[in-house]
Amino acid sequence: MKRSGFTMISGFTMIELIFVIVILGILAAVAIPKLAATRDDAKSATRGGEVTGLIKEMGAYYTAHGTLAADIKDITNVKNEPSATPLVQGSTVDLNDSTGAACVRITVGGAVINDGNISVIGMGASPSGECKGVRRMVGTALHISGNELNTTTAFPIAFGGDSNITF
């Protein structure tokens, strides 16, 4: 049997290719914001872990030495601004988000000088999504009502001095 001069080439039609491109566009439109949110969640988790770690390290240092170190770098390697922060009565340690905006402030001091007490408060009137995640993580770790560190009321933490614990 003899074939005609035309050869049939198999492939996709133009309409099939357009449908595939449209479907890929829809998937990309859904996936890209999810990836950005995942990145922000990762930054929040990292920074929130650093803040809660710093608070635990301050408590451990105070328990071991009966006083806080003269410099924050002697207690932790958590990045803070300025990098060399003296830990004296009333001093503050500001912890920023990845854009450099203030997110959480830790203030040293209680009623008695060097009593080991600190307080934690959220910073910034309109925090980034990353900073909101950090505040939520710190609030949950400290068992704050509502599970979020706020900007109006500092949350006190007593490592020493009068912690109101009676036996």
pLDDT tens, 129-159? Answer: 888 888 888 888 887 776 677 777 787 887 7
d(CA 85, CA 105): 12
d(CA 151, CA 67): 28
Inter-residue contact 104 to 135 (CB < 8 Å): yes
Q: Tell me, what amino acid is at 129?
A: G
The predicted structure's pLDDT at residue 1: 54
The closest alpha carbon to 103, from 150, 56, 61, belongs to 150
**pTM, whole model, 2 decimals?**
0.65
Inter-residue contact 63 to 93 (CB < 8 Å): no
Kindly indicate the confidence band of residue 25, based on its pLDDT and cuts at 50, 70 and 90.
very high
The predicted structure's pLDDT at residue 167: 43
